[in-house]
C-alpha cells in the first residue's frame, strides 16, 4: 500500500485540534482524593473513620441522608463529638457542598477552606464546569490544593441536558437512574422529579438525588 504522507499529516493535525478543544463534560462531584460521600458510604467504611464507634455509625446511617454538611455537623456534635473530632472526620468523609448555593457556614466546614475560600467560592458563581473552578480557584492556591478542595463540592447538572457521564457522577447513581432521568425529559418542575423518580426509590433517596440536579 502506497504511503500517503499528506493524509497522515492531515490526520495528525486533526487529532491535535481535537485534543486542544476542552471537553464540555464534567464530573458531577469533584474527583475524590480519598474523601467519601457520607450519604452513600458503607458502614464498614465509616467505621474506619476518625472518632467513629459502632453506635455512632449505626445512628449516622439511620439518620441519612443529610441535606447539608451543616446538618451532619449538628448531628455529630449531638453524638458528643467535639468540633475538632468532627473536623477530623470531614477529612475522610463529607456531605458535598453545592458550589452555587453553599452558605458561608457550609464552606467553612470544608477542611482547610477558611474565610478566603468562603469568599472565592461565592464570588465566581454560577459555576458551570470544573475547568472554570480549576482556573479561578487556581489563581489563589496551587493545582494540588485546588484539586483537594474540589473533592468536597459538586456542580449541579441540568436534568434536561446532562450526559450519561454527568448523571453517573452523582454518588450512588447507576445505570437505572441514567435511564430514568432521561426517560422523563423534558423535566418541568422538581415536583415532577419527586413524583417520577419516587416510583423507583424511596422518598429519602429521591431527596438525596435531588440535591445534585437543577431544571433549566
Per the CB < 8 A criterion, the answer to whether 152 and 121 are in contact is no
Alpha-carbon distance 97 to 212, whole Å? Answer: 10
Mark 24-40 as b/e (b = at least 16 C-beta within 10 Å). eebbbbbeeeebbbbbe
157-214 adopts what CATH topology?
DNA polymerase; domain 1 (1.10.150)
Q: Which residues of the chain have pLDDT under 50?
A: 1-3, 6-26
| Backbone φ, ψ for residue 159 (5° rounding) | -55, -30
The three-state secondary structure class of 29 is strand
**205 Cβ partners below 8 Å, 6+ apart?**
65
CA end-to-end distance (rounded Å), the chain? 53
Write out pLDDT tens, residues 60-79.
Answer: 999 999 999 999 999 999 99
The three-state secondary structure class of 213 is strand
CA 144 to chain CA mean position, Å = 18
The three-state secondary structure class of 52 is coil
Q: How many Cα atoms occupy the beta-carbon half-sphere of 171 within 13 Å?
A: 26
- The pLDDT score that the predictor gives to residue 4 is 52
Cell of 177: 437512574
Alpha-carbon distance 130 to 29, whole Å? Answer: 9
Alpha-carbon distance 172 to 177, whole Å? Answer: 9
Alpha-carbon distance 106 to 73, whole Å? Answer: 10
Rounded to 5°, angle at Cα 60 from 56 and 62:
120
* pTM attached to this predicted model: 0.85
- The pLDDT score that the predictor gives to residue 28 is 84
Amino acid at each position: 500500500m502506497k504511503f500517503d504522507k499528506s493524509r497522515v499529516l492531515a490526520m495528525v493535525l486533526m487529532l491535535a485540534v481535537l485534543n486542544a478543544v476542552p471537553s464540555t463534560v464534567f464530573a458531577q462531584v469533584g474527583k475524590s482524593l480519598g474523601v467519601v460521600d457520607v450519604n452513600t458510604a458503607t458502614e464498614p467504611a465509616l467505621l474506619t473513620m476518625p472518632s467513629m464507634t459502632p453506635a455512632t455509625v449505626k445512628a449516622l446511617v439511620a439518620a441519612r441522608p443529610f441535606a447539608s454538611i451543616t446538618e451532619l455537623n449538628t448531628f455529630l456534635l449531638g453524638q458528643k463529638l467535639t468540633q475538632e473530632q468532627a473536623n477530623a472526620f470531614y477529612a475522610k468523609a463529607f456531605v458535598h457542598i453545592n458550589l452555587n448555593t453553599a452558605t458561608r457556614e457550609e464552606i467553612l466546614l470544608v477542611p482547610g477552606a477558611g474565610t478566603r475560600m468562603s469568599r472565592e467560592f461565592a464570588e465566581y458563581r454560577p459555576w458551570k464546569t470544573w475547568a472554570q473552578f480549576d482556573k479561578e480557584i487556581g489563581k489563589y492556591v496551587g493545582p494540588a490544593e485546588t484539586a483537594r478542595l474540589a473533592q468536597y463540592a459538586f456542580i449541579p447538572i441540568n436534568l434536561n441536558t446532562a450526559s450519561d457521564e454527568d448523571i453517573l457522577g452523582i454518588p450512588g447513581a447507576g445505570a437505572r437512574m441514567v435511564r430514568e432521568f432521561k426517560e422523563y425529559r423534558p423535566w418541568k418542575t422538581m415536583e415532577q422529579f419527586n413524583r417520577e423518580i419516587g416510583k423507583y426509590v424511596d422518598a429519602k433517596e429521591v431527596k438525596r438525588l435531588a440535591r445534585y440536579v437543577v431544571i433549566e
